[in-house]
Structure 1
Amino acid sequence: MPRLWFVQIVLQLLFVLFAACTPVTAAGPHRTLEQRQSRNGVVTGVGWRDANGNVPVRREVRDLQANFPEQWSLYLLALSALQWADQSDSRSYYALASIHGRPYRTWENVPGLEGRIGTASYCPHGNILFMGWHRPYLALFEEEVYKQVQAYAAEARGDSAERWRSAANSFRIPYWDWAKSNDGSSVPESFTQERIEVTRASGGRHTIWNPLYAFYFHPLIPADFESKWSHLNSTQRWPTSDGSDSRSNQGRMAEVYGAQRRNLHDHVDRAFRQSSINRFANTVEEAHGWIHGVVGGGWEGNGTYKGHMWPLEYSAFDPLFMLHHTNVDRLLAMYQAAHPDIYFTAENIGLTGNVFLLDNTNVDANTELLPFRKASGGFWTMNDARNTTTLGYAYPETTRVGQMSVAEHTDAVKASIAQLYGSSARGMLAAQPVTASGRLVLAGDGKFTDWAIDTKAMSNDLPPSFVVRFSLVGDFSSDQTFDVGSWVKLTHSSHEGSMDKRAATIQKTYEGSVSLTAALIDQVAAGKLESLDSKDVVPFLKDKLTWKVLTGEGNPIPQKQFDPFTFEVVSSEAHIPNSPSAAIEYSEKVARYPEVTVNKAGGVVI
């Protein structure tokens, strides 16, 4: 059997030969580096609109594959061509991924802070700029994919030409809705197949190497990366080792996603329940970090190895990164549409500075988002990019139909949120309000008790990235535990700094919330818990609830170092309306149960 490195080289050569066949037009996908650098970081978004001036929508990746075959083939062909563009080209896949992290270079002559260049990236994480910054970043990526799409569609001749041209014009990059309703959906098969079929506009079905499976460095430039990343020739998911002969374990990715799907769904539900867009963004960022670990691997510790998607410095090289972040942008757009009068308020970024922001800077919706310039001059801000249509796209849920008023549109988006992301407890309770043993979990008036863990941590005493995994321990006769959710904070490792520096900076309190309700319903159904009433749940959780804290490297943090963390169990009364398009109503009155976690490391102090 040939060595893996030899196989990878052969694959790379085949990709290069395939990319060499990419059509080139006057506006083509392979302009020279010099021509592109003259733009100096300008991002406009795709300009095409339909005859009525409406922007196209970005579609869910499975919907694109199933119902828009021309766009699906154009997407795969375009993504492959972009991946195999010359890595020195500032608009190549490699260069665009580098904006987010390694190799820590400035992009298209956009400046950075003196002393930060070469040590930090442009991407902000852990502060309010996180979501807003990714919006023009995705638009930039969309522009480059779109150029390739246009070139491939131009191959069509005769009667099919108009059909392919129409598909290309209305194309926008897809998203992966990893938080969709708990319907048993797994990781799309298109993510885990090494080869995949496409239809060329010129005719015929062709099998190509799947650009969603991995990105192959061509060449790998060891000096651009550090440690093991400098000898991995392609992106990895749940790698089998840290060695150069490592392979992706895509099956493990699908397995972990399946186990975490409900928890992710309920975390997004809690995000949409936030009354502040800052809190919404913070909660979604936690779920976002969770997906980085689900795809990349290595967050669990226990001898697992990290793939490219887990450390933020390398994550944008994984082909699923843009699909993932397009969904994050979509969730933001949905929250905006549901709350049109709410927007980001100023905050201090603490230790989450980057190549253009010093630590402890105060930022707001007018802070410039480098390196993305506007055609009119200056850099994009969150206020500039507040409406997605400004950058040339919308989402299925945020498109305003016909003469729909703002109020009608807001109500429609809220109904979509309720149907797509309402707590999984809703479906569970509707299907089984009373268990086989007669235990009541839903009252006759549609009311139940919702349970969660409120989490807090003081920023200065934490590793740059961490994961808190909450579980319910099984019977004393077994070692079985039941995962009930995670609290994830993921930032660039370069933010760690010295302890002296961290002690001197402005202290921030990170807050989060992890849903417990669905896990408790499982326990009622299994006969392990009498009901969702506090008289039953509190003693049960005192006995069963446990947690462990891991660093971004997957290493457990000793319990004696849990002082920065505070975990407290809370509950509130909830009511399920009769209409499935109406959101669950939660009481503003929150009951707290410090006795559940007191005297445990990280528990509250009474």
Structure 2
Amino acid sequence: MLTINVLCAFAAAASAFPTTLPTQHTSPAKRQDGGSFIHVTGVEGAVGWRQEIFTLKSDADAWNIYMLALERFKDMPASDPLSWYQIAGIHGQPYVAWDSVGPCDNCTLSGYCTHQSTLFPTWHRPYLALFEQSLINNAYEVANEFEGAQKDRYLNRASVLRMPFWDWAQNPADENDYFPSLFRNEFITVTKPQGDVQIENPLLRYHFKNDQDHSFIQGGGDVTWRNPTFNAANRAQLRSDTWAVLTSQVQYNAFSTQSLSAAWDNQNPYSIEALHDQVHINTGGQMGIVPQAAFDPFFWIHHAQVDHVFALWQAAHPDVWVQPWSEIGSSTSYAAESTEDASSDLTPFHSSTSGGFYSSDAVRNTETFTYLYADLASGDSAANIIDRLYRDSQTPLTKRAAPPASNMGDYINRGIGATSREEVSEYVANVEVDSQSMEGSFTIYLFDGTFDESKPEQWHDEPNLIGAHGFFSSPKAMGDGTARVNAGISLTGSLASKLKSGGLKDLSTDSVTAYLKEHIEWKIVKADGSVVDKDDVPGLQIAIMTSV
């Protein structure tokens, strides 16, 4: 069984984040034409700060140049390998080689991205750096179209601009704005050389051009779309799970992937990959489809937050790193059952114009790609930063780095046996499933009691919903029950509410076991909204875990 230890005792006091960007002025990184390959450098020049998106928005000049850079970036011709179309296509469709990098031996062109793999966090780091490299190229081009003092101001902001992240684990500033309006607004006002103009919000969607193959887009049409289901409950779950990932995982491999290893006794409820999946599924549309997700502008803001969480975890565990891992699946980058480690190539990202690829070892430090996260640049300890960002003030019965110390029994509705332990601080439903068992992504919902079974599209808002977890999966069903992944859904908050209302006698394992056997229900819904019988899902098991 996975053993999770408390990272450290957090202190409440912490210094404020830096809010003023460093001032520097460097030349933009040009598209390389002196070598055979594209050298992924990130933004060339001095190190800059990636900021939370609302902090960036508070700087009017930086926000304006960011919006204009995104607009220009999306308009680049598809023939340019640094275009939005080609960079997004690295993640999956239209399944073409990028920068002359073909599939590995025994691999096919199925997307270079690494999911259900310990390379998941490290592969996405140079991927984001490549996107950022092109984004800032476009920021410089836009800034150079202005004149006089305006030009100087915008060049200054372009020189320190980095892609922002949306911290979906923070409590919403507006309790009714769970998926912020800046991602939903149809139009925004920006300043161009000719003055203030209204443009389509660059964060809203991506428009495919006539000469860009988009026949693969689910739902048809020539634009990306979303169906966000963020609400108070799943935002709170994201916050709780982020805390658990950052404070309970002390080994890199378990932190990095939701894939299962026999070394963990088939239980690993908290991983950065499982956390990441939730946001993809809660966003919906292309974001819920693995090979199409990177076309959506929100993909990059989401993955910058994933990398932010990764960087926080690294700061808390500076001596822990990638260990050898046997892959359960394949991609363009690696074959199934191959052993990957910290020296494995992160294709297709070249580390020079003459060839060679980055490895996890090579991208361990974010400064390799000339960026830091603003909170980590504050000089405060990782423990204090994590505490300040994600620890809730309430302490009773919440997921406070609680280790899953014992298995409470067999699987729900297949017989739950109580343990002898009387005091339990956390109950978790550990969901295990074959990640490739269905066509496309899917969500598992846990309910405490009755719910309207006729309206699965509204289950995320059901009053009796305990929690849910979305699995970000391949659009083709290839599962045979062996590509196992898992994630945890906390039951503690729901049980505590039942205790408070008198529906539960106490939180002993005997009482909880009896209660769950009588009341808990679960359902599975595919990304297209269809309900799947749980008996038709290979490898599905839901175990109750306890911690003290």
User: Does the alignment reach a TM-score above 0.5?
Assistant: yes
Give the alignment of 1:432-511 within 5 angstroms: 449-457=425-433, 465-474=441-450, 482-493=464-475, 496-497=477-478, 507=482, 509-511=484-486
User: Aligned pair 1:292/2:295, yes or no?
Assistant: no
Aligned counterpart, 1:151:
141
Give the AA of the match of 2:522.
W
Change (3 A) 1:227 1:164: closer
Aligned counterpart, 1:361:
338
Q: Is the 8 A contact 1:102 1:314 kept in 2?
A: yes
Aligned counterpart, 2:521:
546
Q: Is the 8 A contact 2:323 2:341 kept in 1?
A: yes
Shift of 1:348: 1.0
In structure 2, distance between residues paired with 1:174 and 1:475:
39
Shift of 1:147: 0.9
Shift of 1:460: 7.9
Q: Is the 8 A contact 1:27 1:147 kept in 2?
A: yes
Shift of 1:190: 1.1
- Higher mean alpha-carbon deviation, 457-466 vs 287-296, is at 457-466
Task: Show CA shifts across 1:530-571 (max 9, x none).
Answer: 444445433322222221234455443323335622222222
Give the AA of the match of 2:235.
R
User: Aligned pair 1:205/2:192, yes or no?
Assistant: no
Of 226, 230, 235, the match for 1:237: 226
Shift of 1:62: 1.3
Task: Show CA shifts across 1:489-512 (max 9, x none).
Answer: 323335x44x7xx58xxx454333
Q: Is the 8 A contact 2:188 2:198 kept in 1?
A: yes
Give the alignment of 1:503-582 within 5 angstroms: 507=482, 509-551=484-526, 553-561=528-536, 564-573=539-548
Aligned counterpart, 1:57:
49
In structure 2, distance between residues paired with 1:427 and 1:322:
36
Give the alignment of 1:80-91 within 5 angstroms: 80-91=71-82
Shift of 1:269: 2.2
Shift of 1:483: 1.9
Task: Show CA shifts across 1:255-302 (max 9, x none).
Answer: 534442112222222212112222222222112112112112xxxxxx
The answer to which structure, 1 or 2, has the higher relative contact order (CA under 8 A, 6+ apart) is 2
Q: Is the 8 A contact 1:268 1:287 kept in 2?
A: yes
Shift of 1:137: 0.5
Of 292, 308, 315, the match for 2:286: 308
Aligned counterpart, 1:337:
315
In structure 2, distance between residues paired with 1:198 and 1:418:
37
In structure 2, distance between residues paired with 1:261 and 1:349:
31
Q: Is the 8 A contact 2:65 2:154 kept in 1?
A: no
Q: Is the 8 A contact 1:181 1:420 kept in 2?
A: no
Task: Show CA shifts across 1:399-428 (max 9, x none).
Answer: 263xxxxxxx5xx21122123223686389
Q: Is the 8 A contact 1:397 1:413 kept in 2?
A: no
Aligned counterpart, 2:390:
421
Q: Is the 8 A contact 2:397 2:492 kept in 1?
A: no
3-state SS of 1:285 partner: helix
3-state SS of 1:207 partner: strand
Q: Is the 8 A contact 2:325 2:340 kept in 1?
A: yes
Give the AA of the match of 1:263.
Q
In structure 2, distance between residues paired with 1:482 and 1:371:
46
Give the AA of the match of 1:58.
R
When you count helix as a share of all residues, which structure comes out higher? Answer: 1
Change (3 A) 1:180 1:550: same
Aligned counterpart, 2:18:
none
Give the AA of the match of 2:241.
H
Q: Is the 8 A contact 1:40 1:110 kept in 2?
A: no
In structure 2, distance between residues paired with 1:508 and 1:149:
42
User: Aligned pair 1:47/2:23, yes or no?
Assistant: no
Of 253, 260, 276, the match for 1:278: 253
Shift of 1:486: 2.4
Q: Is the 8 A contact 2:281 2:470 kept in 1?
A: no
In structure 2, distance between residues paired with 1:141 and 1:475:
43
Change (3 A) 1:525 1:111: same
Of 79, 99, 119, the match for 1:108: 99
3-state SS of 2:446 partner: strand
Give the AA of the match of 1:541.
L
Q: Is the 8 A contact 1:468 1:486 kept in 2?
A: yes
Give the AA of the match of 1:346.
P
In structure 1, distance between residues paired with 2:171 and 2:508:
26
Change (3 A) 1:215 1:226: closer
Q: Is the 8 A contact 2:433 2:484 kept in 1?
A: yes
TM-score (norm 1): 0.72
Aligned counterpart, 1:267:
241
Structure 1 portions without partners, runs of 5+:
1-25, 50-54, 239-252, 297-306, 402-408, 430-446, 574-606
In structure 2, distance between residues paired with 1:89 and 1:79:
16
Change (3 A) 1:275 1:148: same
Give the AA of the match of 2:337.
N
Q: Is the 8 A contact 1:94 1:317 kept in 2?
A: yes
3-state SS of 1:205 partner: strand
Task: Show CA shifts across 1:2-35 (max 9, x none).
Answer: xxxxxxxxxxxxxxxxxxxxxxxx9698x7xxx6
Q: Is the 8 A contact 2:397 2:425 kept in 1?
A: no
Aligned counterpart, 1:192:
184
Q: Is the 8 A contact 2:427 2:490 kept in 1?
A: yes
In structure 1, distance between residues paired with 2:152 and 2:451:
65
3-state SS of 1:394 partner: strand
TM-score (norm 2): 0.79
Q: How many residue pairs end up in the alignment?
A: 475
In structure 1, distance between residues paired with 2:487 and 2:466:
15
Aligned counterpart, 1:346:
324
3-state SS of 1:370 partner: strand
Shift of 1:115: 7.0
Q: Greater CA radius of gyration, 1 or 2? A: 1
3-state SS of 1:174 partner: coil
In structure 2, distance between residues paired with 1:538 and 1:365:
42
3-state SS of 1:100 partner: coil
Q: Is the 8 A contact 2:289 2:441 kept in 1?
A: no
3-state SS of 2:523 partner: strand
In structure 2, distance between residues paired with 1:194 and 1:138:
25
In structure 1, distance between residues paired with 2:547 and 2:309:
25
In structure 2, distance between residues paired with 1:289 and 1:572:
24
3-state SS of 2:531 partner: coil
3-state SS of 2:139 partner: helix
Change (3 A) 1:530 1:196: farther
Q: Is the 8 A contact 1:397 1:416 kept in 2?
A: yes
Change (3 A) 1:160 1:357: same
Shift of 1:234: 0.7
Give the AA of the match of 2:425.
T
Give the AA of the match of 2:466.
V
Q: Is the 8 A contact 2:119 2:256 kept in 1?
A: no
